[in-house]
Structure formats: structure tokens, C-alpha cells
Amino acid sequence: MREAQSAGIVPSRMARHRAREATAILVTASSALTLAPIALVRVAGPGFRELWWLVILGGLLPIVAPLQCIELSRQAPTTKVNSGRVLLTALTPTGWRTVELNELVSISLFTMPGRFGPGVVMLIVTDSNGVRIGLRSGQAWGALRRTLSANGSAHTNTPRLSRRATRLIQGGATSVWSDALLPLALAVGWFAGIVALAAFVATG
């Protein structure tokens, strides 16, 4: 937090390094939890079948991988204009990150179903430096819309926008089917596959 308060800008190299570290930890944990019980049952015998629940835990970790870049609500994002660069700094689970809103290369929409529709809705923006943030707050969305509008007026390069992200940026609402039910169906299908793998481990 002192880093963001003192400078207001997080170097892209630092943000990418933190993101790579978090991804490496997640991949290692998921692989170990999923594959280790299978190997133990096959090599050491059926005495390790009770570890089937580790397969489910490891298989669920990739589902939450996109949340590594989510903008956390406990600290409001800040925007700063520096030599024509529009910089947005936000707190994420891996620390502070800064993206250049006028140098974005892609914008996509990510939703995670909640109890009554989309529980998490974020616009994942990636700039030309490879820094990614999942914007959630109205303040961040407003800064994004203003920058995109200014970029369009100046006829500069525009980022790749997914169809769902375009709809939301233009003021549309989230779609119950494409933004909530479809991701839920995919998550259920993935979970069913993980449960089947866990059952395979449990039964040997």
C-alpha cells in the first residue's frame, strides 16, 4: 500500500512478476493435489484411496484462477494522467497493479455465478505491457469508458473487445443466459469431470 501511496504507479515488470508467481503457485498446487493421490493409489496401494477429496480440491483451483487479477473493493482505484498516459492503479490479490488505459490491447468480460445471477462481474483489461486487471467498480468502469471515448475521437488504435464486454461498456446490462447460466453450466461440467476422477481414485 505504501508503494501505491508514494508513487501512484506500479512498474509493469513488478506487476507481471507477481502475477507469474501467483500463477506458478496455483498451477503447482492444482497439479500436486490432483495427480499425487492418483500416483499414490497406483504405486503405494489402495491405502491412499481416502485422499480422493484432494483431487476435487486440486481440480477446483483452476476455476478461481481469473480472480488473481480482480480489483479488490477495500481500496478504491486511482487514475493519473502522466505525459499523455492514462494510468489506473488498483489493488488485486497479488498486490497493486497499474494499467495504461489508453494502451489496452484487449478487454473481455468475466462473470462468476452467484446465488441469484452473476456474483462477480469484471471487465478484464490487458495493456501493451502485459499487465492485467479485472475492473469491478463503477469508478474504474467510468475511467475506462472515458478513455475509450477519447481514444476513438483521436482515431488511435482500439483494443480487441469481446462481444459481451462491448455490450457492458456501452451501458447494457448483463445477460442472464450468456453471463451467468452459461458459465455456471461450464463450471458444473468441469466439476462433474473432477468428481468422476475422484471416484476413480476412491474405487481404485
Residue 116 has a pLDDT of 53
Q: Residue 45: is its pLDDT beyond 80?
A: no
Residue 2 has a pLDDT of 45
Q: 111 vs 21, 132, 137, CA distance in Å?
A: 24, 16, 14
Query: What dihedral do alpha carbons 119, 123, 124, 127 form, nearest 10°?
Result: -160
Give this prediction's pTM. 0.78
Q: Are 118 and 111 in contact (CB under 8 A)?
A: yes
**Per-residue pLDDT tens for 157-203?**
689 988 888 888 887 666 655 666 666 677 778 778 877 877 777 77
Mean pLDDT in the chain?
A: 82
Identify the DSSP state of 178: I
**Per-residue pLDDT tens for 90-149?**
999 999 999 999 999 999 998 876 655 457 889 999 999 999 999 999 999 999 999 998
Q: Are 190 and 55 in contact (CB under 8 A)?
A: no
Determine the distance from the C-alpha atom of residue 195 to the mean position of all C-alpha atoms in its chain, rounded to a whole number: 24
In whole angstroms, give the CA distance from residue 114 to residue 109: 16
Residue 58 has a pLDDT of 83
Long-range contacts (CB closer than 8 Å, 24 or more residues apart) made by 11-17: 11/98, 12/98, 12/127, 12/129, 12/130, 12/131, 15/94, 15/95, 15/96, 15/97, 15/98, 15/131, 16/129, 16/130, 16/131
Q: Residue 7: is its pLDDT beyond 80?
A: no
